[in-house]
């Protein structure tokens, strides 16, 4: 039998089918891609790899990322919310959250994130009345950094950090006596949103607080807060006054024995002072039998807004970013502290005991009150403490005046 006619017919059918298939594909509807507007504060090279992985796992979603600056990021966010055009997902500093929660601007994620509660710490930063208006992403705290080289020169045990106020003062005094531009303790002064984080650990560790439990009245003018401020003022005699960048520089260059600082030093010390021998410890408590090794518990949270256009997609991105492996990747790239419970047991932190201390410090750290006027309250406390640092007021006067000013702000709801 001659198969040539059959083969010729097959060739003609294939030749006809190819343009028909091309026409059919060109007429088929394109896959719809949903774009998520994500505003955040990390450098692009830190967060971009995570966003690319998210898009790989979610082919129908794309992320349009905008990097904000801490100096004016809140203004950009509040302007967008007021205009009815907020981003779908946004990173917020924890002190900004109360105002937006109280105003009803944040999406309620309570039912959608219930399963994540045991896996993350820091829910106090984005919750109110038992409802969750975000996801804790990165935790922030402060710990005690100390120079082991100056310890040795001053005859101190460089493997043992001070655990009490008296031990801290005595060690700083011995380092201060070395002279030659060496100082014992770095006392923070004159810097908004920083001084509070350096003074209040001593107040919280002494049992002090800012507001009553119901957040309706100040509870600042107390003996515990007066004692804490008196001790903070006392440290001036065995140290130096300075702003954050000045104290960090003096510490990196080996001229400062102690300072309370944050995890950003884990980035700058290896880069600027690779030979520096230093340790990190919990902030000292008042005495061995009283108080706690307190610090501030703050951080950054992921939120969506009631006016967001892609709220389901933004929640998917938020849940992706707080996954343990992704939170740890961000922490490694940025030297930050993930909100993941148990992160300190990972191999990364076991091999880096100094960074591990920052997670341990969170166990006794105190979150700031979720009051809508908190930003203004923090500024009041900083102003009064700074006046005392420059001898314009006594510790008792500064604490009393702060209490009076806080009373007016507490009424703002």
Q: What is the pLDDT along the chain (413 residues), one digit of tens a residue?
A: 444 443 343 444 344 444 443 444 344 455 678 999 999 999 999 999 999 999 999 999 999 999 999 989 999 999 999 999 999 999 999 999 999 999 999 999 999 999 999 999 999 999 999 999 999 999 999 999 999 999 999 999 999 999 999 999 999 999 999 999 999 999 999 888 899 999 999 999 999 999 999 999 999 999 999 999 999 999 999 999 999 999 999 999 999 999 999 999 999 999 999 999 999 999 999 999 999 999 999 999 999 999 999 999 999 999 999 999 999 999 988 888 999 999 999 999 999 999 999 999 999 999 999 999 999 999 999 999 999 999 999 999 999 999 999 999 998 76
User: Three-state SS for 136?
Assistant: strand
How many residues would you count in the chain? Answer: 413
The string over 257-268, giving b where at least 16 C-beta atoms fall within 10 Å of a residue's C-beta and e elsewhere, is bbbbbbbebbee
DSSP letter for each residue of 195-231: HHHHHHHHHHHTT--SB-TTSSSB--SSHHHHHHHHH
Contact 260, 201 (CB under 8 A): yes
Give all domains of the chain, ordered by start, each with its CATH number. 34-141+297-367 (3.40.190.10), 143-282+371-410 (3.40.190.10)
Predicted structure pTM score: 0.88
Residue 88 tokens read as: 């779908």
For residues 262 and 393, what is the distance between their CA atoms, to the nearest angstrom?
Answer: 29
């Amino acid at each position: 039998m001659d198969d040539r006619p059959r083969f010729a017919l097959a060739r003609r059918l294939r030749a006809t089918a190819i343009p028909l298939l091309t026409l059919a594909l060109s007429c088929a509807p394109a896959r719809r891609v949903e774009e998520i507007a994500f505003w955040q504060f990390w450098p692009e090279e830190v967060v971009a790899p995570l966003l690319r992985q998210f898009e790989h796992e979610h082919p129908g979603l794309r992320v349009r990322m905008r990097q904000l600056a801490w100096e004016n990021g809140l203004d950009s966010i509040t302007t967008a919310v007021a205009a009815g055009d907020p981003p779908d997902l946004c990173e917020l500093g924890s002190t900004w959250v109360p105002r937006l929660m109280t105003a009803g601007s944040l999406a309620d994620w309570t039912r959608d994130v219930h399963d994540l509660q045991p896996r993350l710490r820091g829910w106090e930063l984005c919750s109110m009345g038992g409802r969750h208006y975000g996801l804790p992403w990165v935790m922030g705290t402060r710990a005690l950094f100390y120079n082991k080289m100056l310890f040795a020169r001053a005859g101190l045990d460089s493997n043992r950090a001070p655990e009490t106020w008296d031990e801290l003062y005595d060690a700083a005094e011995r380092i201060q006596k070395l002279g030659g531009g060496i100082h014992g303790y770095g006392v923070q002064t004159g810097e908004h949103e920083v001084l509070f984080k350096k003074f209040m650990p001593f107040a919280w560790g002494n049992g002090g607080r800012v507001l009553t439990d119901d957040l309706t009245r100040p509870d600042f003018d107390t003996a515990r807060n007066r004692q804490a401020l008196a001790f903070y003022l006392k440290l001036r005699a065995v140290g130096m006054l300075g702003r954050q960048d000045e104290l960090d520089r003096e510490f990196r260059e080996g001229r400062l024995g102690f300072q309370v600082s944050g995890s950003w030093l884990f980035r700058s010390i290896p880069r600027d002072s690779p030979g520096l021998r230093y340790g990190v410890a919990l902030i000292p408590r008042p005495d061995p039998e009283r108080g706690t090794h307190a610090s501030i518990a703050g951080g950054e949270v992921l939120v969506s807004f009631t006016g967001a256009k892609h709220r389901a997609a933004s929640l998917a991105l938020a849940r992706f970013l707080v996954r343990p492996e992704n939170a740890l990747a961000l922490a490694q790239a940025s030297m930050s502290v993930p909100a993941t419970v148990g992160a300190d047991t990972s191999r990364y932190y076991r091999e880096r005991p100094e960074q591990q201390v920052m997670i341990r410090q969170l166990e006794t750290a105190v979150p700031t009150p979720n009051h809508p006027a908190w930003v203004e309250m923090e500024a009041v406390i900083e102003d009064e403490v700074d006046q005392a640092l420059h001898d314009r007021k006594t510790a008792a006067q500064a604490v009393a005046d702060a209490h009076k000013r806080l009373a007016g702000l507490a009424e703002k709801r």
